[in-house]
Amino acid sequence: MRLGFRDWQELARAQGAIVRWSLARRRRPRGQLVVRAGSESLIPSPSPGPAEISRAREIALALDRAARFGLLRPKCLVRSLALDDLLRREGLDASRVRFGVRKREGVFEAHAWVEFGEEVLADDAAHVASYAPVPGLQHLPEFE
Residue (of 88, 92, 86) closest to 65 by Cα position: 86
Lowest-confidence pick of 10-14, 122-126, 135-139: 135-139
DSSP-derived secondary structure for 83-105: HHHHHHHTT-TTEEEEEEEEEET
Predicted confidence band at 44 (pLDDT cuts at 50, 70, 90)?
low
pLDDT the model gives residue 125 = 92
pLDDT the model gives residue 31 = 62
Average pLDDT, the chain: 85
Predicted confidence band at 75 (pLDDT cuts at 50, 70, 90)?
very high
Domain range for residue 58?
Answer: 5-139
**Residue 144 lies inside a defined structural domain of this protein:** no
pLDDT the model gives residue 33 = 59
DSSP state of 21: H
Total domains present in the chain: 1
Residue (of 39, 43, 63) closest to 113 by Cα position: 63
**Residue 75 lies inside a defined structural domain of this protein:** yes
- Interior angle at CA 134, CA 131 and CA 140, nearest 5: 120
Predicted confidence band at 34 (pLDDT cuts at 50, 70, 90)?
low
